[in-house]
Structure 1
Amino acid sequence: MTTPAPRPRLKTRFKPARLKLSSDHSKRPLERLSLHDQLVAKVREMIVDGELAAGAPLPERMLCETFGVSRTPLRETFKILAAEGLIELRPHRTPVVTPIDAREIAEIFDVMVGLDAAAGRAAAARATAGDIARLDAMHAELVTLHRAAERAAYFRLNQQIHTEITRLAGNSVLFNMWSTLHTNVFRARAVANYDARRWDESIREHEAFMALLRAGDAAGFAQALADHTRKTGDSVLQMLESQA
């Protein structure tokens, strides 16, 4: 039996020049990505800050006109925010901002206490003098905002401080888990809208754990940070229950 001769190998080579892409065309996907990121960030911010209230409908046509975008990027934005738990997508119905579930918030805070303890311990062990100086500067600004009763700006900076502490832990898995859960926690805090007494307590707790960080007490810093998160959770849940 005669063995068939092997087929000749086809030599193909990719030639970018044949695509005939101009420099302008090659930049467009980056521009679309930038617009998409901005849209996600803006709608997320409106939900977290309470500008789009829990349970509020999200009509596509109105939002497209508001942001000057087509339905395609808006629907992609909805998918991302739905994955984060901020939006409910309903078949053949208008999406809505996810209602705040007090039981779920309580469970999230239970997890956040543990995450903050772990993040605080690692961050204190890894933080350089420059890191501590940067957090000190942020804390000083936080105190100033508290004295001026700039509540919205205070909450924003407060979030940035906690984010920076978690980032300093140097654990990407912990940071991603914390960031996802914190989005829902921050929204609940905005809706609950702390009373003045809790706000005063909170700034004193910040003062306490920053002092421990400066002193290099990693265990004390981690415990104080976790206690602060637990007390914050208790306050938010009290507010949500009173509003219900």
Structure 2
Amino acid sequence: MSERAPRAKLRTRFKPARLKLSSDHSKRPIERMSLHDQLVAKVREMIVNSELQAGAPLPERMLCETFGVSRTPLREAFKILANEGLIELRSHRTPVVTPINRDEIANIFDIMVALDGVAGSQAATLATDDDIARLNAMHERLIQLHRDAARTAYFRLNQDIHVEITRLARNPVLLNIWTTLHANIFRARAVANYDARRWTESVEEHETFMALLRARDAAGFAAALSMHTRKTGEAVLLTLERAPARNG
């Protein structure tokens, strides 16, 4: 019985009219090691960096051909990104990059300001010395990423810090509500940090509320954390006002 000749692998690049990808991404298939994590990180970075615009389609076949992967890990990656609010999964239709609704973002930030006040007060009261040391180590890495102008890594660690603060409040209901709402403003927060002045201001605000946490000033920490979230929200909304057509 004769062996079948190996089937040539189709290498189709995206057409710019359908989905914008830089040539750098289309020429380098993702490595097989840690495939799922790499897919999530790659597509997330492209969305956060606005390489994939709001409303852009994400056709599975072309993504698989571009990255040299099967549909199974890609679909798993899509689920993670959908939970983060970055993409919208649609039944029997092509997924799309989630549009940003300015009014919805404004309403969510109003709630997040209040939630961060509660989380901050509880976290500063209940956190152990080890908890604060771990959070402070994350903060020091954040400062270094800012110095290195490593925006994508900075943004991910920044989100991890905010999640950790909320987790330290030891309130599962609060954490669940906070996480759900945060998924809807994840990308919008990243957009605001592309303003160099706001990025620097944000780092300074982190410095301020971390000093208050180390001092165990629960009221001060909660107020500073809430103010940081409020200023971030204002920066996000201002950015969206400047680019209404792009964000939909």
TM-score range, shorter chain: 0.7 to 0.9
Name the counterpart of 2:155: 155
Deviation at 1:191, TM superposition (A): 3.0
Name the counterpart of 2:118: 118
Name the counterpart of 2:109: 109
Name the counterpart of 1:23: none
| Closer, same or farther: CA 97–122 of 1 in aligned 2, 3 Å | same
Deviation at 1:73, TM superposition (A): 5.6
Counterparts of residues 46-57 of structure 1 (less than 5 Å): 46-57=46-57
Q: Secondary structure at the match of 2:94?
A: coil
Deviations for 1:26-57, whole angstroms, at most 9, x for unmatched residues?
xxxxxxxx977875666455544544321111
Name the counterpart of 2:211: 211
Counterparts of residues 125-144 of structure 1 (less than 5 Å): 125-144=125-144
Name the counterpart of 1:224: 224
Deviations for 1:32-90, whole angstroms, at most 9, x for unmatched residues?
xx977875666455544544321111112112334555445645655665565433344
Deviations for 1:69-121, whole angstroms, at most 9, x for unmatched residues?
54456456556655654333446542211111111111111111111111111
Deviation at 1:147, TM superposition (A): 2.9
Name the counterpart of 1:184: 184
Name the counterpart of 2:28: none
TM-score (norm 2): 0.73
Name the counterpart of 1:61: 61
Q: Which amino acid aligns with 1:98?
A: T
| Closer, same or farther: CA 204–78 of 1 in aligned 2, 3 Å | closer
The answer on whether the counterparts of 2:109 and 2:229 sit within 8 Å (CA) in structure 1 is: yes
Deviation at 1:192, TM superposition (A): 3.8
Q: What is the total number of aligned residue pairs between the two structures?
A: 211
CA RMSD of aligned residues (A): 2.7
Q: Secondary structure at the match of 1:94?
A: strand
* Structure 1 runs not aligned, ≥5 long: 1-33
TM-score (norm 1): 0.74
The answer on whether the counterparts of 1:127 and 1:168 sit within 8 Å (CA) in structure 2 is: yes
Equivalent-residue separation in structure 2 for 1:214 and 1:188 (angstroms):
29
Equivalent-residue separation in structure 1 for 2:79 and 2:157 (angstroms):
28
Q: Which amino acid aligns with 1:224?
A: A
The answer on whether the counterparts of 2:85 and 2:183 sit within 8 Å (CA) in structure 1 is: no
Equivalent-residue separation in structure 2 for 1:202 and 1:75 (angstroms):
34
Bigger helix share: 1
The answer on whether the counterparts of 2:45 and 2:152 sit within 8 Å (CA) in structure 1 is: no
Q: Which amino acid aligns with 2:222?
A: A
Q: Which amino acid aligns with 1:183?
A: A
Deviation at 1:243, TM superposition (A): 1.7
